[in-house]
Each structure stands twice: as structure tokens, then as C-alpha cells.
Amino acid sequence: MTEDTSVGSDRDSLEPPLFDAFPDPLLVYGSERAGGSDSSPDSLVLRAANPAFVSTFDVEPDRVGAPLDHVAIAGRIASDTDDADVDDSSSDDTTTVRAILDVVRGTADSTLRLTQDHPGDSRHFHVRAIDVRANDAESDDVDGCLCFTEVSDLERRRRELVARVDRLERIADVVSHDIRNPLEVASIRLEAAQETNEAVHFEKVAGALARIEQLVSDVLSVGAGRVDPTDTVALGDAAESAWATVDTAEATLVIDPKAPTIRADIDRLRQVFENLFRNAVEHAGRDATVTVELLPDGFAVVDDGPGIPPEIGERVFEIGVSTTPGSRGLGLSIVDRIAREHGWQVSVASPDSGSADSDAGARFEFTGVTLVD
């Protein structure tokens, strides 16, 4: 015998087998009239809830007959501008069914979005109100119902699209602003070189063109397609190859002799190393020492510079965040994107202000990496 996990007993007019088997959470509410059927309604109460609603929102069976403003469910009403994932919110956030009904009645299409926040994840629902009384004049004890359809996958894709549009807008800003500056420098210096034939002007033109080339490379990297992390890559070889392509001046690269072979997209991994090496030389000095270390489930890239200021921390991976004046902060955002598309986690650490180790600089750790040997 199958146990009836639905809430409610006054459902004869609601086709109980269909109501119970409906896959989306569904509740039915009605007006409570203490003075009889001809009196004005005192309150709206919960008439019934199907098993999907009970299991999704953990509603106790004794809630049937309770006023809607006394029936609380886990979740919060989301606004149209609520685009950020909330990873640290408590899953105890609750909303009453009456609050949901009042809001949904005030919308043009009788719908709203409900979000359940959990650490590291969220569930999203599209809530639709159905006025049963308007469609069935004989429904004396039922006014309407609320249907909760989970749209978590659609919501994640929507937020990814919002983030992608934001990234493209930042790219457009780089193209329209940052590239224009070295172009103007190159144009002015070229005109001066033609007039004076002095070597310093040619050097400035070459520097401006190199800056443009770097900006174009960064912009293309931000807009590049997803990685294919199926190559078998010797971590030490990839680091040495990237080191050879960066102007590292008098800096020194140290690679852990136990550096493993990993699964990665070799071209994108080299790009990660290139950006980190360039970042180290810019901030730790042209005589910096950069070390590639082995971690139990990944690797770390460490320099002996001043480290990342505590007030910046993990924000260093955001586009536009940089400790270098005039920088658009693209390099480390590219590192973060490539790591995430490999399925890795990347974090940054910096020494405590009271640390006695003056050579402890910025430390970028990559975990969740698949080690081949």
C-alpha cells in the first residue's frame, strides 16, 4: 500500500490521483468563512498540497486548514535584478504562502520567481497562480492554486548570459579606451620620427605597438571558447615553455622536481603560466623568483614579491581589478576563467602583515586538478 504524503483532505473536486501525481509542487487554497457560505471570507487557508510540494518545501501535514500567512516555506521572492548567486546564505530563509500569493497577484502575468539559497548552490522556481473560482463557479471551498515549477537550469543559463554580456561590455571598454591610447602615442611618435629621425621616437612606437599586441591578446583570451582539458601535459614542461615566451628579465623560475603530469588543455595551461609569470615580474620585480610547487591535488605558483593586498584578496580575479595604475586587470581574470573551465578551483593567498618571512609573496593555488602520475 502506498502512503499518501499529500496534505489535505478536501480535494474531491480536484481529481486526487492527478493532483497527487503532478510532478511540480502544487498547493490549493480557499476562503475560510466563519459565518457560513454567504458571509465575507475571514482569511485564506491552505486546502491541500500535493506530495511534490510537501517534499520540496518540507510542509508539515498539520498545516492543512492553517491561514496562508501562517504557512512558511523555505525560499525568498527574487526580483528581476537578482542576478548574483548567493553561496553563503542560510537555507533557513523563509517566505509565507500568503506573501507569495499577494506578490503574484500584483504582477501582470500572475507569476514570480522564488529562490532557495543553499551553501554553494541555489534552486529556482517559477511560481504561477491559477484562479480556480474564476474558472469554476461551483468551487465553493477552493479559490485557487499555486504551481511551483523548478527552473534552476534555465536560471543558471540566464545568469551565465548576464555575466557574458557584462564581460563583453568590459571588452568593448578595453577596445574603445585602452587601445586608443597606445595608438595615439604611436601616431604622434611616428610623425616625430619622420621629422627628426631620432631613435627614441622609433623606440616609443615599438613600445606602443607591443602594448597594443598584448591588449589584443588579452581581449581575445577573455572572449575565447571553452577549454578542452583532455591533453596529457607535463606540468614542468608547460611552465618552462611559458617562461620562455615572457619578458622575465633577470627573474628566476624554480620548478618542483616532483611536478606531475596532469590533464589539461596545453595551450590554455601555458597561457595561465604566462599571465602569472608576467604578473609576478610586474609586481615582484624584474629579479623576482617564481616557484611552481606541487600540491596534493594540483599545483601552486608563488613569487617573492609584496603579495596581494588584503583589501583586494580574491577580487584580484575580477576584470578591472588591479594594483597596477592604468591596468585594466585582464590577466588574472583570464587565469580564473581558464581554471574554472578546467573544473579547477583557483585561490590566492598573501602573507600576514606580521609575517617574518619577507620573501613570501603572492601565492596562486590550483586544486581539483586531475593528476596522471
For residue 54, which of 103, 91, 105, 20 has the smallest C-alpha distance? Answer: 20
Handedness of CA 52, 53, 55, 57 (dihedral sign): positive
Whether 112 shows a pLDDT value over 80: the answer reads yes
- Inform me whether the pLDDT recorded for 225 exceeds 60: no
Cα radius of gyration rounded to whole Å, the chain:
30
Task: Tell me if the pTM is above 0.95.
Answer: no
pLDDT in the model for residue 226: 63
Distance CA 81, CA 150 (A): 19
| Residue 298 pLDDT level (bands cut at 50, 70, 90) | very high
pLDDT-wise least confident of 41-55, 165-179, 241-255, 301-315: 165-179
pLDDT averaged over the chain?
79
Please give the Cα distance from 225 to 228 (Å, whole number): 9
Question: Cβ(126)–Cβ(107) under 8 Å?
Answer: no
Cα-based distances in Å from 206 to 189, 190, 210, 244, 269: 10, 10, 6, 21, 28
Q: Closest Cα partner for 279 from 295, 303, 299?
A: 303
Asked if the model's pLDDT at residue 53 lies above 60, the reply is: yes
Q: What SS3 class is residue 358?
A: coil
Amino acid code (one letter) for 2: T
Whether the Cβ atoms of residue 138 and residue 150 lie closer than 8 Å to each other: no
